[in-house]
Structure 1
Amino acid sequence: MKKVLFVCTGNTCRSSMAEGLFNHAVENDKDGLKDFRAFSAGLSAFEDDWANPKAVKVLKEHYNVDISSHRARKITKSDVESSYIILTMTKEHKNAILKMFPGAADKTYTVKEYAYGDDANGDYNMDISDPYGFPEDVYKTCAGEIKDALDRIIMKLKK
């Protein structure tokens, strides 16, 4: 199995939404992605925190994805070593991982960097902003950004 690791700060919003959306896509894909599975972790996660209720609600209502059983966890050396690819929500997250695990440089990208690559122009924001503490519509926007990037990532992984 090829492990796709999504990383954010607390592992209750962005990376948990990315994990849920990716695994939902894999489960509903008829071919090409059966060997992939997503996991997520946070750089500063409080172990066993639940996914943010707004993230849970947005994914359930708009994507029919249930992340209500998600529990936050901190990134580990084992996570990094066993991952096929590591996708972070921001450049800051990516830099933190590379500082902690320099050997992961060849497989660590921001979500948008990996999704859009050369298609992104210099003005394009390669970070997915943290919706934590904001209204539900910000979570909806964030989930949409993640989903758009994941659609491109899944197409790349299929090739």
Structure 2
Amino acid sequence: MKKRNKIIFLCTGNICRSPMGEALLKKAVEDENDELLNTLEIISAGTSTVDGMPPSANSVEALRRIKIDISDYRSSYLTQEMVDEAFAIFAMASSHIDILKAYYKNLPKRVFTVMQMIEGSKRVDVPDPYGCGIDEYLDVRDDVAYATPFIVKYLKNELKKI
């Protein structure tokens, strides 16, 4: 059985929301410099994409404004192998979890939407900014950035259990 050490951020096209989630968590883990967190591989993927697409210009710009560069990122379609290696999957919307449950097997026990990680949050989904202006992308960035410390805390607690 493969080692489950991947953290997957999941959205539809893997060019807007999930690359931002991946980059924000990588930065948080780097800043945290925690031995357990450093064992994880943080990636992102899409449920309806093709491999190799660049991130949207507005995603690149939204993260550039906080000094994170994703311009070299390229999209990936979610594969069963990725799921098999996942320690946790953080979806941008509940519809992505529905797709996971319908089309993939061997899901990790840790599958949530990003917004579900925020203590006390009543929101479930991060809206898809595709085709919108920079303000919507900044809102997505800020939503995911706000959720990131909660995700870090959760992962640290879960990693201590294994």
Cα shift readout 1:28-55 (whole Å, capped 9, x = no counterpart)? 2232522223100000112211011110
CA distance in 2, matches of 1:102, 1:30: 33
Tell me the matched-pair count. Answer: 153
Query: 2:87 aligns to what?
Result: 84
CA distance in 2, matches of 1:100, 1:133: 27
* 3-state SS of 1:28 partner: helix
Query: How far off is 1:3 after superposition?
Result: 1.3
Letter in 2 for 1:93: H
Percentage of matched positions with identical amino acids:
29
CA distance in 2, matches of 1:58, 1:10: 17
Aligned with 1:43 (options 30, 42, 47): 47
Whether 1:15 aligns to 2:18 is yes
Query: 1:135 aligns to what?
Result: 133
Query: 2:9 aligns to what?
Result: 6
| Contact 2:9–2:91 (Cα < 8 Å) also in 1 | yes
Over aligned residue pairs, what C-alpha RMSD do you find?
A: 1.5
TM-score, length basis structure 1: 0.90
Q: Which has the higher helix share?
A: 1
Cα shift readout 1:39-78 (whole Å, capped 9, x = no counterpart)? 00000112211011110111011x2111111101110000
Cα shift readout 1:95-117 (whole Å, capped 9, x = no counterpart)? 1011112431622211122x136
Aligned with 1:31 (options 11, 15, 34): 34
CA distance in 2, matches of 1:91, 1:31: 30
Structure 1 runs of 4+ off > 6 angstroms? Answer: none
TM-score, length basis structure 2: 0.88
Change in Cα spacing, 1:51 to 1:112, as seen in structure 2 (3 Å) is: same
Letter in 2 for 1:81: D
Letter in 2 for 1:16: P
CA distance in 2, matches of 1:79, 1:31: 24
Query: How far off is 1:2 after superposition?
Result: 2.5
Whether 1:53 aligns to 2:57 is yes
CA distance in 2, matches of 1:78, 1:150: 25
Q: Gaps (5+ residues) in structure 2?
A: 158-162
| Contact 2:80–2:105 (Cα < 8 Å) also in 1 | no
CA distance in 1, matches of 2:107, 2:40: 19
Q: Gaps (5+ residues) in structure 1?
A: none
